[in-house]
Chains A and B, each alone.
Chain A
Amino acid sequence: MVATKRRSWRIFTLVMVAAIALSACGSDAEESGGDDRKVARIGMIVPLLGGSTAVGIGIRNSVDLAIRQANEKDLIPGWRIELAAEDDGGKPEIGSLAANKLVSDSSVVAVIGTYNSSVAQQVQPILSNAGIAMVSPANTNDTLTRGQNPATPVRPHKNYFRTATLDSLQGGFAADYAFNDAAIKNAVIVHDGKAYGKGLAESFQARFTKNGGTVVGEVRVIAEETTDYSSDVTSIAPLNPDLIFYGGEYTAAAKFTTELKKQGVTVPLMGGDGIVDQTYIDNAKEAAKADLGTSIGAPAEQLPSARAYLDAYNAASYRDPGSAYGALAYDAGNVVIDALVKALPGKTSVDSAVRTAVIEAIQATNRDGATGKLAFDQFGDTVTKLLTVNQVAENAWKPIKTGEFAG
């Protein structure tokens, strides 16, 4: 009796495990097309399971949209484009695993990603060594295209491009807005210690002090995983800042702003593109009110060129919104597809010559996209440098100032 009971439990456990494993496979499986065209795959490395997933999913859907449109129009005779999306969980070590996986897939012609600059630092050399083009719709850290020394910029990787603009511009734009438009004189600076957060905070600090503003207290580093910000807020409160500048992403920022307002520090929190997401407002609720955040490009809703993208995205009925990077990701997708149109015809398989041709074609990009003109300078940076300051009002991010950073 005991033996049979025990066995039935074992079988039950086995079935449960099998069910979970199967359900995991089911959703991640690539759909395989039923035609006889050859397959070229565009890899992708973004946060899909962990990290800033709202953004990652928006990027994936937007690139998927560009690929679907290209396949429908049969842009490259004899070839069908597929998306191979990998999760990086917002973590460099998972990102490098994903990069190695994509590199070992001989049909991958280019990779779109990453979202996090810290992940890009790990992924760049892997794709660079494999000679595969990498186009990021969201990396903003300066060193990725200019090397460690800002005075003598050197492009570290010829295969790396981005449709997002630099933190030095974003942080500077934010500092100019804070000092000139919002008349803020004293700021506390906090960042999460990651490449993006640190770089953004430093560029804000440099411009803000140059403008004549004062950074009060030490620049704080608070790891993203920190759950309890109460002690940090207690030590910030007596400094009486007019603004808290936060370099980091929305998950941590939402908790931080909640704690600030709870302890009676009612000045706005300002962040970069990493916090400009609806999730920030949903989670911080009334604490998010009047908080500020810069975003890359002009708001898609206001750009006539983005209309077509937005309409197509809405028509495709994806379950999740395109997020702040949707239009930039869509542009990144089309940049890669354009390059494939030049590099693939007449080829029988994806080889290193094709991959090199793709890199060269991307460098030579010159077209109009959803976010404006698409072309890359000698560093692989976009020539479109539009930025926007947004503020939380009526439960949404409202653009209040768009322009280019004066430098």
Chain B
Amino acid sequence: MRQFLQQLVNGTVLGATYGLIALGYTMVYGIIQLINFAHGEIFMVGAFAGLASHRWLLPDSLAGNAWIALAVILVAAVLAAVATAVLMERLAYRPLRDAPRLAPLITAIGVSIVLQEIVRKFYPGGNRPQPFPSVITTGAFDVGGVRVAWISVFVVVTAIALMVALQAFVRKTKTGKAMRATAQDPDTARLMGIDTNRVIVITFILGAALAAVAGVMYGMRFGQIDYRIGFVTGLKAFTAAVLGGIGNISGAMLGGFVLGMVEVMAVQYIPYGSAWRDAWAFAVLILVLVFRPAGLLGERVRS
């Protein structure tokens, strides 16, 4: 029982990370039907920018204060990730807005490789895993024999808070309304006076900011990052987005938690599950798609 609860904690933390990245996939898909495979690299760029700011920007006198250090790292990560995403949208995706679907998809894979190579080549020591500071604390506390690291609490609380904030933004604000309108019908939205290009850029910015936060949290939790972390994590997050119903914001978060849970429970309860955890995760994806082709919370795709 204690082990089950501990795994529940593990799965929640893993799922929160997946969900946070999945939001970026799902929002961009919802607006322009592009599967932005370079989104995982935005997450990676965010993590590296955070690390760089801690190493070179942060004065030693302030590095001792965990919250200031965290704020600096987060701001740097978000700025770098947003800048990369905006540049990516402008240079790689906008010129292909009216091209056949396959062209931007292939371009996304290209952008992903370019970003990986840039970090590998130009970040000092980027060709090997870099240590990441734990920043706030490495401590943990016990609840009924279940050990919870403070960083895990931070990860889950931040992820849920950001998701609620994003929902509120999309539902309540004028820009959010414009996003929903663009997602429904970009041509009509433009006729109604909505600057759809601006809306698309905002979508990329929001996704990138969330991914950057996820990147920093990844670094703080695992203590090291390398230029390839975006690929595997991005793939999982994309799976989470599909699982939850791509284009659906709550779905991305739900998909993340389901995927995280399946992975940890497979390790715990299926013999030799640790070697096959990804297989179980994808088996669940296939099962869900067989019975609900649009994902857990997805709606019928409009034609």
Chain A: residues with CB nearer than 8 A to chain B?
6, 9-10, 12-13, 16, 20, 23-24, 27, 48-50, 53-54, 57, 193, 218, 220-223, 225-228, 230-232, 234-235, 238, 251, 254-255, 258-259, 262-264, 279, 282-285, 287
Contacts of B92 in A (CB 8 A): 13
Q: Is B272 located at the chain interface by the 8 A CB criterion? A: yes
Contacts of B268 in A (CB 8 A): 231, 234-235
User: Shortest distance in angstroms between A266's beta carbon and chain B's nearest beta carbon?
Assistant: 12
- 11 A-B pairs with CB atoms under 8 Å apart are A13-B92, A24-B117, A50-B228, A230-B264, A234-B10, A234-B264, A235-B3, A235-B7, A235-B268, A251-B128, A283-B224
- Tell me, in angstroms, the Cα distance from A12 to B128 when the chains sit together: 31
B140 — nearest CB in chain A belongs to which residue? A262
List the count of A-B residue pairs having beta carbons below 8 Å apart. Answer: 113
Asked whether, in the complex, the Cβ of A230 is within 8 Å of the Cβ of B271, the reply is: no
Asked whether, in the complex, the Cβ of B120 is within 8 Å of the Cβ of A49, the reply is: yes
Chain B: residues with CB nearer than 8 A to chain A?
3, 6-7, 10-11, 13-14, 90-92, 95, 114, 117-118, 120-121, 127-131, 134, 138, 140, 147, 149, 218, 222-224, 226, 228-229, 232-233, 263-265, 267-268, 271-272, 274-275, 277-278
B110 — nearest CB in chain A belongs to which residue? A17
- Tell me, in angstroms, the Cα distance from A279 to B218 when the chains sit together: 19
Asked whether, in the complex, the Cβ of A16 is within 8 Å of the Cβ of B91, the reply is: yes
User: Shortest distance in angstroms between A166's beta carbon and chain B's nearest beta carbon?
Assistant: 25
Asked whether, in the complex, the Cβ of B274 is within 8 Å of the Cβ of A54, the reply is: no
- Name the one of B10, B138, B226, B271 contacting A228, with C-beta atoms under 8 angstroms: B10
Contacts of A235 in B (CB 8 A): 3, 7, 267-268
- Name the one of B3, B149, B275 contacting A234, with C-beta atoms under 8 angstroms: B3
Asked whether, in the complex, the Cβ of A230 is within 8 Å of the Cβ of B95, the reply is: no
- Tell me, in angstroms, the Cα distance from A24 to B263 when the chains sit together: 38
B122 — nearest CB in chain A belongs to which residue? A23
B interface, by DSSP: helix, strand, loop or mixed? helix
Contacts of A264 in B (CB 8 A): 140, 147
Contacts of B229 in A (CB 8 A): 227
Rank and list the top 8 A-B pairs by shortest CB-CB distance, nearest first.
Answer: A231-B264, A221-B275, A283-B224, A230-B10, A231-B267, A283-B131, A234-B6, A53-B127
- Tell me, in angstroms, the Cα distance from A23 to B120 when the chains sit together: 13
- Tell me, in angstroms, the Cα distance from A64 to B138 when the chains sit together: 42
- Tell me, in angstroms, the Cα distance from A6 to B90 when the chains sit together: 10
Interface centre among A12, A54, A231, by most B CB within 10 Å?
A231
Asked whether, in the complex, the Cβ of B3 is within 8 Å of the Cβ of A13, the reply is: no
User: Shortest distance in angstroms between B100's beta carbon and chain A's nearest beta carbon?
Assistant: 19
Interface centre among A193, A235, A254, A282, by most B CB within 10 Å?
A235
Asked whether, in the complex, the Cβ of A231 is within 8 Å of the Cβ of B140, the reply is: no
A283 — nearest CB in chain B belongs to which residue? B224
Contacts of A54 in B (CB 8 A): 128
Contacts of A24 in B (CB 8 A): 117, 121
Contacts of B3 in A (CB 8 A): 234-235, 238
Given contacts A225-B232, A231-B267, contact A251 B138 (CB under 8 A): no
- Tell me, in angstroms, the Cα distance from A228 to B13 when the chains sit together: 10
User: Shortest distance in angstroms between A262's beta carbon and chain B's nearest beta carbon?
Assistant: 6
Contacts of B223 in A (CB 8 A): 254-255, 258, 283-285, 287
- Tell me, in angstroms, the Cα distance from A388 to B195 when the chains sit together: 67
B265 — nearest CB in chain A belongs to which residue? A231
Contacts of A23 in B (CB 8 A): 121
User: Shortest distance in angstroms between B302's beta carbon and chain A's nearest beta carbon?
Assistant: 30
- Tell me, in angstroms, the Cα distance from A287 to B221 when the chains sit together: 13
Contacts of A258 in B (CB 8 A): 222-224
Contacts of A228 in B (CB 8 A): 10, 14, 222, 263
Asked whether, in the complex, the Cβ of B222 is within 8 Å of the Cβ of A9, the reply is: no
User: Shortest distance in angstroms between A384's beta carbon and chain B's nearest beta carbon?
Assistant: 29
- Tell me, in angstroms, the Cα distance from A156 to B71 when the chains sit together: 58
- Name the one of A220, A238, A283, A285 contacting B130, with C-beta atoms under 8 angstroms: A283
